[in-house]
Chains A and B, each alone.
Chain A
């Protein structure tokens, strides 16, 4: 791993930060589920997303990390909070939760956990063994060249889809146009 990194850019305390960030992600994930108050859940989700951005940074993907912060933590979650705060929380808290599906949830959790354990045990043979080549210095530039060169068509299709979604949202929200 050390050879792949440019000289002078040695990461500091990698293991410590990995465990710190993944621990934060897991903890906030748990909080998202167990907190009764939806605002607390949303805040926990924000912390989880930020910790994830930190993990992306450790994987030498600064662009993804930046986009994660701007889009998820800065944009989408603010809208989430906005909507939650406008809803009458006290009434919704008093209402009975009717989706008691803990048995199904438990089964799904066991299945997913089993999958993780299998991957952890057999992972060496399942995935090709290759050391990733981190390109920290011009990661963003390479993403740009890829998106607007090789994958131009797919990128434009995706942006057209988003445009359709925006127009659809406006049409649905506004009664008289």
Chain B
């Protein structure tokens, strides 16, 4: 038994490929726990960042700087009365949030946080991700229909029309990136004489293809990769029903869209699913165009010294967070009312600093840094989501359809054709 557990550690594949059930379970628990914590953190960050964009303070009461606000929210939602409308279709109403949750969490099976840090590596990785994440539209449609009310139904219809049309543009962008993986044996920066063969759909394979070609697909065939990435970056906001494309839950028109009739825990499942889906599509973008788990500047800043410098980043990040926490402790009011909060914040800073110090230990450092770079890139996207929401006004529905079908799709097809031509010619 112990041998079975330790035998995986020496292999360099994902637990799914190694067929090791124990480590696969551990990875699943770690990933899902991590995502849940990330969703809570994102919830706090979004409220806080949005508030600062609008020159407000945001949550300040629960814990220092509102740090415990997500926990308070979770407790509130769990203890809230769970209302099912009298005329609702009970079973469908009950199962809709679960479908959204399952669809948005199941995609994490193939997300590569590192060359070995994925639950498994499917041969159809990216196809699986697109397919399963598109299932969440079913949950939305079911929720809207089962509520047996006007606003949810309109919201659900809007949402399904929007997701189905943006999926097409998204698919075109993804295919052009997958096409790039088929160009083998090129020189540095992905140019020069090479042979084209079959590419790959596996998420790990796509990242390794970027390493093999020494270029992030974002910069490949400049500006083609850039445009494809741009199309995906727009389409993914529409796919996850986020501002400025949040028409399915446009509160000024539809109260709350498809989840108007939901309350309490069920409503929080919708939120959890939405944020998990946001993280998942951001991970697709990072994997396909931003080099996945590889650190920045692998071509120009090479050598032992730079490797060492970049491997110190995770620890330094946590030390920086700890420093921010301690600055917060210094700036806390000296009134006795705030004493508990001040001690709590100091303790939080100490924990962050300790994590930072642990991350400096060489074996930990080497194992953790690919995860760190992946998560850092995804975190950039999550911040962009908040930024969009604070900056852009909501689109009208006909504008949304126009952008999807008449702008993004033709450009996407054009990019795909040009990529194919360049792949053959170069």
- The answer to whether A and B interact is yes
Binding site for B on A (CB under 8 A): 8-10, 12, 37, 39-40, 43, 46, 62-63, 65-67, 69-70, 73-75, 77-79, 81-82, 85-86, 136-141, 144-145
CA A82 to CA B124, docked complex, whole Å: 28
Interface CB pairs A-B, < 8 A, 21:
A8-B13, A8-B17, A8-B18, A10-B19, A39-B89, A62-B124, A62-B128, A63-B127, A65-B124, A70-B130, A70-B134, A78-B141, A81-B145, A137-B123, A138-B198, A140-B200, A140-B201, A141-B198, A141-B199, A141-B200, A144-B198
Evaluate whether A74 and B141 lie within 8 angstroms (CB atoms) in the complex, with A8-B18, A139-B123 already known. no
Interface flags for B1-31 (1: CB within 8 Å of A; 0: not) read: 0000000000001000111010000000000
- Chain B proximity of A34: nearest CB distance (Å): 15
Evaluate whether A40 and B92 lie within 8 angstroms (CB atoms) in the complex, with A8-B13, A8-B19, A75-B164 already known. yes
CA A147 to CA B194, docked complex, whole Å: 23
Besides A8-B13, A67-B127, 5 more A-B contacts (Cβ < 8 Å) are: A39-B89, A40-B92, A63-B124, A74-B167, A82-B141
Contacts of B156 in A (CB 8 A): 85
Contacts of B122 in A (CB 8 A): 62
- Chain B proximity of A93: nearest CB distance (Å): 13
**Chain B, interface residues (CB within 8 Å), range:** 20 to 34
Contacts of B137 in A (CB 8 A): 74, 78
- Chain A proximity of B15: nearest CB distance (Å): 11
- Chain B proximity of A86: nearest CB distance (Å): 8
Asked if A140 contacts B123 (CB within 8 A), the reply is yes
Asked if B127 contacts A70 (CB within 8 A), the reply is yes
Q: Which of B357-389 contact A (CB under 8 A)?
A: none
Q: Is B138 an interface residue (CB 8 A)?
A: yes
Contacts of A140 in B (CB 8 A): 123-124, 127, 200-201
CA A29 to CA B21, docked complex, whole Å: 32
CA A138 to CA B124, docked complex, whole Å: 9
Contacts of B145 in A (CB 8 A): 39, 81, 85
- One of A9, A10, A85 near B153 (C-beta < 8 A): A85
Q: Which of B67-124 contact A (CB under 8 A)?
A: 89, 92, 122-124
Contacts of A62 in B (CB 8 A): 122-124, 128
From B123, B130, B201, residue with most partner A Cβ within 10 Å: B123
Contacts of A79 in B (CB 8 A): 164
Contacts of A66 in B (CB 8 A): 124, 127-128, 131
Asked if A85 contacts B141 (CB within 8 A), the reply is yes
Q: Is B157 an interface residue (CB 8 A)?
A: yes
Residue of B nearest to A142 (CB): B198
- One of A12, A43, A136, A138 near B142 (C-beta < 8 A): A43
**What 8 pairs across the A-B complex have the smallest Cβ distances?**
A69-B131, A66-B127, A74-B134, A70-B131, A141-B198, A66-B124, A62-B124, A10-B19
- Chain B proximity of A61: nearest CB distance (Å): 10
Residue of A nearest to B132 (CB): A69
CA A81 to CA B21, docked complex, whole Å: 38
- Chain A proximity of B91: nearest CB distance (Å): 8
CA A9 to CA B130, docked complex, whole Å: 24
Q: Is B422 an interface residue (CB 8 A)?
A: no
CA A78 to CA B141, docked complex, whole Å: 8
- Chain A proximity of B85: nearest CB distance (Å): 16
Contacts of B161 in A (CB 8 A): 82
Asked if A43 contacts B131 (CB within 8 A), the reply is no
Residue of B nearest to A71 (CB): B131
Asked if A145 contacts B124 (CB within 8 A), the reply is no
CA A12 to CA B19, docked complex, whole Å: 8
Asked if B141 contacts A145 (CB within 8 A), the reply is no
